[in-house]
Every structure is written in structure tokens, then in C-alpha cells.
Structure 1
Amino acid sequence: MSRTLVIGDIHGAYRALEQILERAAVTENDRLIFLGDYVDGWGQSPEVIDFLIQLKQKYHCIFMRGNHDDLLLKWLVTGQHTEQWFMHGGQVTTASYLKVNEEKKQLHILFLESLEDYYLDEDNRLFVHAGFTNLNGVKHEYFSKMFYWERTLWETALALDKSMDPNDPLYPKRFTLYKEIFIGHTPVTRIGETTPINKANVWNVDTGAAFKGPLTILDADTKEYWQSDPVYKLYPEENGRN
């Protein structure tokens, strides 16, 4: 039986990515939906992208665009960067790309350009890196950057009263548009958690792999999940960086 498996923010943690795919016993029958932020954090961002390109040739993969992926693409194409990006993983990533030849860089550019802003499946489930702001849904979003930068969707879900009726006129309309919404972007470690967290109909699968948390893969149907070891333990040579 095929599964829809959702993978949280990887942030250059190639070793963790290998772990979760093995622990979830992924097969060619599964659909893999990656929520973005493949790079920046740990020192194997090029290896992650290499692996994802190869994975796509064998498995049914859908790749969302994360804000870090967009920043890397701009740097690879133009050589331009911001100090903020450097402070949040970009410096580690650019250093790792010094070992990558030009031909491979061009393949990575093509991969990054091919990423999706969002994916809406046959069950009206939305998969997006960060969120959206338009009250009529993703197809009406005015600013595409919101798909991989915004945080109000998750902040609203966290603040929502559990007892509130979805039919209440004050209930946030964004949560009524889709059966479920799967996001990353804002690590649940910010609220002291390291497992996928559900608020309203939103599932946050970013379990803090960029920092002290594990990487997670979640079955979208059953909500069973598998996790890597805490990523910092997989990169002892880089401890202190994050």
C-alpha cells in the first residue's frame, strides 16, 4: 500500500536524511513530499541536493521551495548574498560549495529553479513550506514569497482556542479552506517540542533539525512518524556551529 510521506526541513543534514528514509522503510510505491529548506545549517547541503536529484529519478517526489533554498539559488546565480543569510547558515553553505564543480552547480540551479511553491493533493490537503496569507487560498496569493517566508499561519494556529467552532464567524478562514495543512519553516523546538505538532488543522513537521532537534518524516494519513537521531549528534565535528 502506498503512503504519502512528508519530510520536514533538512538544513544540510544529509546523514539524518539517510536515517529517516531507512527508518521509515521507504519504497518506490510511496509518495515523498519534501517541505523545503534543504540547505543551510549543517555542512552537507550540496550532498543533500545531489541525493534529492537522484531520489527523484527512482521515487515519486514532490519538492517545495523553502526560503533558504531561494537564498541559495540567488547566490549561485548572481553571487550576491545578505549578511543575515550568512548568519543563518549561508556561510556554511557557500563554504561547502567551494568543493563543487561548475557542472554540478548548474544541475543544482536547475533543481532549485524547479521547486514548487505549494502542492495541493487529491484529498484537498495542502503542503507548503511556510504558509499563505490570502483568505481565499493559495491560488489567490498575491505575493509568492509568502509561501516560503510567512509565519502568521502557524502563529495563528498556536494561539487559536481549541474549543472554537470552525463555523464561528470569528474562526480564521484560512483553516477552513483545506482538509489539512502541512508546513515546516518555524521549528517546533521554539515551543519546546521535537515531534510533529498539530494545531487546528495545521501539522508542523519542522522538528528542529537545523539546531538540536531531529529530522522527521511523517505519514500524512496515519500520522505515524520516524525521526533521525538529534542531528547535532550526527555531526560531532560541527558541534558548536548551531
Structure 2
Amino acid sequence: MRTLVIGDIHGGLRALHQIMERAQVTEKDKLIFLGDYVDGWSQSPQVIDFLIELNIKNDCVFIRGNHDELLLYWLKDNKDNLMWYNHGGEATVLAYEKVSAETKRKHVEFLLELKDYYLDEQQRLFIHAGFTNMNGINFEYFPKLFYWDRTLWEMALALDENIHPSDVRYPKRLTLYNEIYIGHTPVTRINQTIPVNKACIWNVDTGAAFKGPLTIMDIDTKEYWQSEPLCNLYFDEKGRN
């Protein structure tokens, strides 16, 4: 059995189908999704439908992303959020115009059950964005940071690679877990389109919301498979700006 981690999907069902096929995913594989299933491309409702069905066959872990929480607020309360609308939510709102009330109810249930994080037996942490408390996830004062924080990744990027983890100057947050898998901040910001490893962190958001591919990675072997860039799969759409 493999354990496979999947980066931010952002409504790109075609890319999700591609990586599942290219990685030859079977029902024996454990699948850990890092969140942001929606917003950007036009198939956000279909992505959630696919994940609900997938969970029947596979051992799946679904982490909460910030865009997933924003969709939940909209579905439950029907409140307009201009910032969300301008950062991928527009495509989602338009897509849900064709979705039945019963399907929306199922999607709300799915979104309510998402996990803030997942920690496995080997002290490998899976989280959408990060955490800020130097003592770890169990001591976080502001749980929303689990899916909004960027400081963990920014710190790893800025870290002097010559500083050993035993050095007093080494950031304590980077010593708490053997590995940390995140999404949220696309590696395209540093001109990459493949998973990037800094310190103990693996960033698997390869820019699917924009012009990058979607990625699935085997956490034991670090082998990964990618879709075509989503701007090619959805050539008649603009995606996120």
C-alpha cells in the first residue's frame, strides 16, 4: 500500500483524473488531500462529487483549505464575499448555479467534516498552510492559521541551510515533526512547478490554480506524477488571477 499526497486542486477535475491515472492509483492506496478542492476552474462541484465517491473505495484523508472554508460559508449562509469572488470564487458561484439543493447539502456535509490537519504514526504532519505556535499544532491559539498561515513556508525558504537543527538558532517549529506536507502557497512563486523540499517541509502546491500542474506524490519514495498545466486543460477559462 502506498500513501499518496495530493496538492491543491482548485476545481480542476480534469487534472485530478489525469494524476490518478498517471500514478495508477488503486483501492489499496491511502490518499491524503491537502485542501483547496475548489475555486479557480469551472468544476468545483464535480471535484467534490468525485472525492465523496472516492472516499467509499479508498482510505482518504481530506484536509481543510482556506478556499474550502470560504465555499462552506457561502453555501451555508449565502453571504457575498467580494474578496473570495475575485480570488477564484466567481467560477465556483457560477458552477453551483447548476447544482441541486440536495447535492449542495451533501457538499456542506463534506466540507464540515474536513480535518484541520493529519498526523501519522511516523510524525509526518499534513496540513494545508501551516501553524505558528513554536510548540506545535496542539498548542495553536488560532486554528484558522492551519489553513491561512504562510509564515511556516516563508521561514523554511529563508532558512540558512548551513544551520544544523541542533543549533539554538534553528527554528523550533521545524524540529517538531519528521516531515510536514503543505499546499496553500504555490511553488510557482519561486519559479518552480514540481514539489519543493525545504528543511522538513514538502510543498506540493505546484500552481494548479494558475498555470501550473496538479501533483500527486508518494511520501515514502518521493516519486511524483503531474497533470498537464491546468491552463491547457481549461484553455477557454481564465482560472485564478
Give yes or no for TM over 0.5: yes
User: What is the 5 A alignment of 1:177-188?
Assistant: 177-188=176-187
1:123-144 CA distance string (max 9 Å, x none): 0000000000111110111111
Tell me how far 1:241 sits from its aligned partner.
6.1
| Contact 1:218/1:224 (<8 A) preserved | yes
The match for 2:3 is: 4
User: What is the 5 A alignment of 1:59-98?
Assistant: 59-98=58-97
The match for 2:117 is: 118
Secondary structure at the residue paired with 1:237?
coil
Tell me how far 1:236 sits from its aligned partner.
1.5
AA aligned opposite 1:64? I
* 2:25 is the counterpart of 1:26: yes
| Contact 2:209/2:239 (<8 A) preserved | no
- Tell me: CA distance 1:240–1:12, structure 2 relative to 1, closer, same or farther (3 Å): closer
Structure-2 separation of matches of 1:81 and 1:154: 30
The match for 1:192 is: 191
The match for 2:15 is: 16
AA aligned opposite 1:140? F
- Tell me: CA distance 1:38–1:240, structure 2 relative to 1, closer, same or farther (3 Å): closer
AA aligned opposite 2:51? L
- Tell me: CA distance 1:241–1:168, structure 2 relative to 1, closer, same or farther (3 Å): closer
| Contact 2:88/2:239 (<8 A) preserved | no
Tell me how far 1:240 sits from its aligned partner.
7.0
The match for 1:132 is: 131
Q: What is the aligned-residue RMSD (CA, Å)? A: 0.9
1:114-159 CA distance string (max 9 Å, x none): 0000000010000000000111110111111000000000000000
The match for 2:38 is: 39
| Contact 2:34/2:65 (<8 A) preserved | yes
| Contact 2:41/2:239 (<8 A) preserved | no
* 2:133 is the counterpart of 1:170: no
- Tell me: CA distance 1:240–1:107, structure 2 relative to 1, closer, same or farther (3 Å): closer
- Tell me: CA distance 1:240–1:131, structure 2 relative to 1, closer, same or farther (3 Å): closer
| Contact 1:207/1:215 (<8 A) preserved | yes
AA aligned opposite 1:146? L
AA aligned opposite 2:50? F
Gaps of 5+ in 2: none
User: What is the 5 A alignment of 1:154-233?
Assistant: 154-233=153-232
TM-score by length of 2: 0.98
Structure-2 separation of matches of 1:51 and 1:225: 21
Secondary structure at the residue paired with 1:223?
coil
Tell me how far 1:81 sits from its aligned partner.
2.9
| Contact 1:8/1:35 (<8 A) preserved | yes
AA aligned opposite 1:107? K
AA aligned opposite 1:3? R
| Contact 2:129/2:185 (<8 A) preserved | yes
Identity %, equivalent residues:
66
TM-score by length of 1: 0.98
Structure-2 separation of matches of 1:218 and 1:131: 19
AA aligned opposite 2:40? G
| Contact 1:71/1:81 (<8 A) preserved | no
Structure-2 separation of matches of 1:128 and 1:38: 14
AA aligned opposite 1:85? W
AA aligned opposite 2:77? T
Tell me how far 1:92 sits from its aligned partner.
1.0
Gaps of 5+ in 1: none
* 2:150 is the counterpart of 1:145: no
- Tell me: CA distance 1:240–1:55, structure 2 relative to 1, closer, same or farther (3 Å): closer
| Contact 1:9/1:37 (<8 A) preserved | yes
